[in-house]
Structure 1
């Protein structure tokens, strides 16, 4: 297999090892094979004293990674028994936890689009770099799913209710807001990335960063904190929407309309997952909760329908079941958090 055919490119140069996600036509979407390849490399490099730093980036010009291979999940949920998807998530979530605890600097170059599973292999790293091209998001409610890969852990830690806003709407943020929300650590202009990568091979991480980190461009969320914190502090999604509609801020009303187009079930389960994540503490415990939710939603009609509408047929007209928030019961939500017995995620 030539490098052009390999979905993950692994190499070492100087003191740094490098992971390149190499499916640019699919915006580097993660497959199970890619997750396993990354995990094996991390094992090897953890034991290699010559490797002092690990760097992850994406091939192509569009971004690091647009998420998991959701078409495969769609097919498995529609035609299979869900076993393949559950196995993928098990290895993916364990990889997310491993990245967060990796004993060597793990530098994530979050240039361009970074969504879903792309957040999972980057935003848990110890050094997270965004650029003026970065667009970071957890857009799962738009496909009848919920933020996973530790996304509810990260968003639960964001200031105020910013994480709730991003989780429910699936909105993408740029560099300044990614830094504000704790999804990134440093801003580097995209034109400086080649030199930064070269420096990481020959210098310590602090030395390399000192040569390239710059103040980020201003974000947008700071100026919206008042209505975001006020509206998303509600106890239910219905009340969140009501507050947004009544607020008087045009952006708040537009956000309410955005939410009403998402899967009602996904919205309610996402809000519950975020609120519970705040009390769970560790990333590992949140990932275990996310695994329960993900497996439960494999049997939900909204996951197949959402991916169909957005990715397969691309008509952008999903028919959610239930169709409105008031028809999603507390029992429907609670079902997604039930223990899995012997199928629990377990420790990485």
Structure 2
């Protein structure tokens, strides 16, 4: 089993050859225990292990069982297949709930997901996450807060929510606000992908599985000159104007990216990361995320963004506002209300 070989190669074995479903009737997550270590394996490889409500509930229940199990001393979490740990939450299912008029059920998915993130972060037994391939959105939520975070050199990471009219949730602004300079602000607002090397620089991972020859190459860190200069402050309109007028072509390209994102989501994300810098712990940050998630659902850009990016795939979202500069401050405040 390729996943087992990966774990054993990095001293996280011997791993059982047989993983089994938990007691809640889903095979979307599978488990095993060997030599004092419990293993969680996300098991939707064809969907890049995207998180469903069933997966979230199943993992929470299993962690509860293991907490009192003296045969379990530590937990390791990885994803089935070779393409990625987890590409995020199942936003298509959330959109379907909203279309059905069940906004509370849609919000409850995020609330339960955030509870899982906090559970993994504060679990009394050490949790090690194995970040490989695509690790995005909710995939970072279940991995970047863990006690031990190992990352493969070729991993592709992102908090891409502004592209679908949402904001970087799952407690990630708590970490991004503490990244060097404005690297976290860049990642939060643009939703752009970044490398494993930059994840290490930003404090989202601890160490490589195996140190590659080019381990020191962190493209975002190398661009901190224009990133720090342009992404400072609390006005998203000023940020995009700085980027557009900057002599570095990377900055001008970044301005074009921001122009494609939901203007409201960009402004909310900037406010979110500034507030996260003042929050005392992850629990507080996740509570704020739940409030902002409710506000963003009510604002409407999320449903339109998912339609444009993942349903019709026309990449032509009709955002609530035409430009970032047109988003009123009171609308941003209302989202946090």
**Is TM > 0.5 for Structure 1 vs Structure 2?**
yes
Q: Which residue of 2 aligns with 1:342?
A: none
* TM superposition shift of 1:326: 2.6
Matches within 5 A, 1:195-344: 216-338=215-337
- For residues 41 and 178 of structure 1, what CA distance do their matches in structure 2 show? 29
Paired residues of 1:263 and 1:302 also in contact (CA < 8 A): yes
Q: Which residue of 2 aligns with 1:198?
A: none
Paired residues of 1:132 and 1:217 also in contact (CA < 8 A): no
Match of 1:53 among 60, 74, 83: 74
Q: Does 1:70 align with 2:91?
A: yes
Q: Which residue of 1 aligns with 2:4?
A: none
- TM-score w.r.t. length of structure 2: 0.90
- For residues 334 and 181 of structure 2, what CA distance do their matches in structure 1 show? 28
* TM superposition shift of 1:217: 4.6
- For residues 34 and 217 of structure 1, what CA distance do their matches in structure 2 show? 36
- For residues 326 and 195 of structure 2, what CA distance do their matches in structure 1 show? 35
Paired residues of 1:176 and 1:218 also in contact (CA < 8 A): yes
Q: State which drifts further: 92-101 or 145-154.
A: 92-101
- For residues 243 and 289 of structure 1, what CA distance do their matches in structure 2 show? 29
* TM superposition shift of 1:261: 0.4
Match of 2:116 among 67, 73, 95: 95
Paired residues of 1:168 and 1:270 also in contact (CA < 8 A): yes
Q: How many equivalent residue pairs?
A: 315
Paired residues of 2:26 and 2:55 also in contact (CA < 8 A): no
**Cα distance 1:130–1:214, how it changes in 2: closer, same or farther (>3 A)?**
farther
Question: Match of 1:88, SS?
Answer: helix
- For residues 331 and 215 of structure 1, what CA distance do their matches in structure 2 show? 46
Q: Does 1:118 align with 2:139?
A: yes
Q: State which drifts further: 265-274 or 218-227.
A: 218-227
Paired residues of 1:186 and 1:213 also in contact (CA < 8 A): no
Question: Match of 2:277, SS?
Answer: helix
Paired residues of 2:183 and 2:221 also in contact (CA < 8 A): no
* TM superposition shift of 1:78: 2.5
Q: Which residue of 1 aligns with 2:207?
A: 186
Q: Does 1:16 align with 2:37?
A: yes
Match of 1:105 among 109, 119, 126: 126
- For residues 213 and 14 of structure 1, what CA distance do their matches in structure 2 show? 29
Question: Match of 1:118, SS?
Answer: helix
Q: Which residue of 2 aligns with 1:197?
A: none
Q: Which residue of 2 aligns with 1:7?
A: 28
Q: Which residue of 2 aligns with 1:167?
A: 188
* TM superposition shift of 1:301: 2.1
Structure with more contact order per residue of length (Cα contacts < 8 Å, sep ≥ 6): 1
Listed as ranges, the gaps of 5+ residues in structure 1 are 190-211, 339-348
Question: Match of 2:102, SS?
Answer: coil
Q: State which drifts further: 66-75 or 38-47.
A: 38-47
- TM-score w.r.t. length of structure 1: 0.87
CA RMSD in angstroms, aligned pairs only? 1.7
Match of 1:39 among 27, 38, 60: 60
Q: Which residue of 2 aligns with 1:195?
A: none
- For residues 152 and 68 of structure 1, what CA distance do their matches in structure 2 show? 17
